[in-house]
Amino acid sequence: MVNRAGIVTVVNVKSGDEISGGQALFSVDLQPVIAGAGAIPSFRDLGLEIRGQDVVQLRQFLCQLGFSSSCQSDHFDASLEKSVKAWQKSIGASQTGVVALGDIIWFPNLPVRVNTAAELVVGKRLAADDRPLSTIDALSALTVVMTADQSELVPEGVNASFGDGLTGRLRRQSMAASVDPALASANSDSVIFELVTDDGASSVCQVTPACADLLGDALSVTIPISVEVIPQQEGLVLPVQAIHTSGTGRTYVVLADHTQVDVTVLGSSGGIALVEGLVAGDAVLASGE
């Protein structure tokens, strides 16, 4: 939650951006809201004589940014107040020496990519319990759900494309690894593939902000996909009966001058074969000629 009601006066991030500790996210009533790394959410103002683990978290935040060298005490003392004022001055905030509820949004892990909510627009009013930002965590993924029969037609690592130019390779998942438990329970007999980078090292969603653009404010969306089940190939076509196989397994054709030329059969269907090893214009004898 933003923990601050007011009018949005500045927006510093957009969906898909990666944010880091100390970064200004947006401003409410001209007061900047800053990203911080920490597991304890804001629940009170922090000022002189306050004690607690949230004070330790604040100290570590200021130490990381270079405004303090005392990083472990749980006591908000005069030296910490001085550090807070210096930090407030650096971000253009009122130098009160108090970190008010809502001054910092704490994220368990930083850096992280975020989605912005529809209400995070200059001129819009935020309520204290609004959630103007959501994180795109490591579980975000583009997945394809297929029946078992469909999956038999899809080789591991085949090329696929989602939406507008988002491409990668399909990697088979177990249902237990599904990013959506409801998806697994509703499709217990299905096979799930995930779109990964060409080298297979990570999910496409971990290396591109395009997933954030596709999701918008939703937790999941359904989009068209194109799967290259049979990779595009190039070659020359011949009648299947023009192709011979020797006793040693050698595949060849016979040209009009009765010379034999080795060929590689790339595929065949309906009595026609796609081959390589010939030059366009070669005259090939049909079987029996």
Q: Where are the extended beta strands (E) located within 29-141?
A: 31-37, 104-107, 112-116, 125-126, 133-136
**Structural domain boundaries of the chain?**
6-136, 143-227, 236-276
Name the residue among 238, 222, 228 with its Cα closest to residue 275: 238
Counting DSSP H helices and E strands in the chain, the numbers are 5, 19
At 177 the pLDDT is 39
pTM of the model: 0.55
- Quick one: pLDDT at residue 182? 45
Instruction: Give the per-residue pLDDT at 184.
Output: 44
Rg of the chain over CA atoms, in angstroms? 31
CATH 1.10.101.10 fits 6-136, yes or no: yes
* Strand 112-116 relative to strand 104-107, pairing: unpaired
3-state DSSP assignment of residue 25: strand
Q: In what order do the strands lie in the sheet with 251-254?
A: 244-245, 251-254, 260-262
Give the DSSP H/E element, type plus range, for residue 111: none
How many Cβ atoms are within 10 Å of 216's Cβ, its own excluded?
12
Strands 125-126, 6-11: pairing kind: antiparallel
Per DSSP, what are the bridge partners of residue 252? 244, 262
pLDDT (0 to 100) of residue 263? 93
Alpha-carbon separation of residue 101 from 33, 138, 223, 239, 248 (angstroms): 10, 28, 40, 78, 81
Bridge partners, residue 125, by sequence: 7
Please identify every stretch of the chain with a pLDDT value under 70, giving residue numbers as ranges: 1, 137-140, 163-165, 174-189, 209, 212, 215-220, 228-232, 288-289
Tokens 């059969």: give the residue.
Answer: 265
Instruction: Please calculate the CA angle 70-73-79 and round it to the nearest 5 degrees.
Output: 50
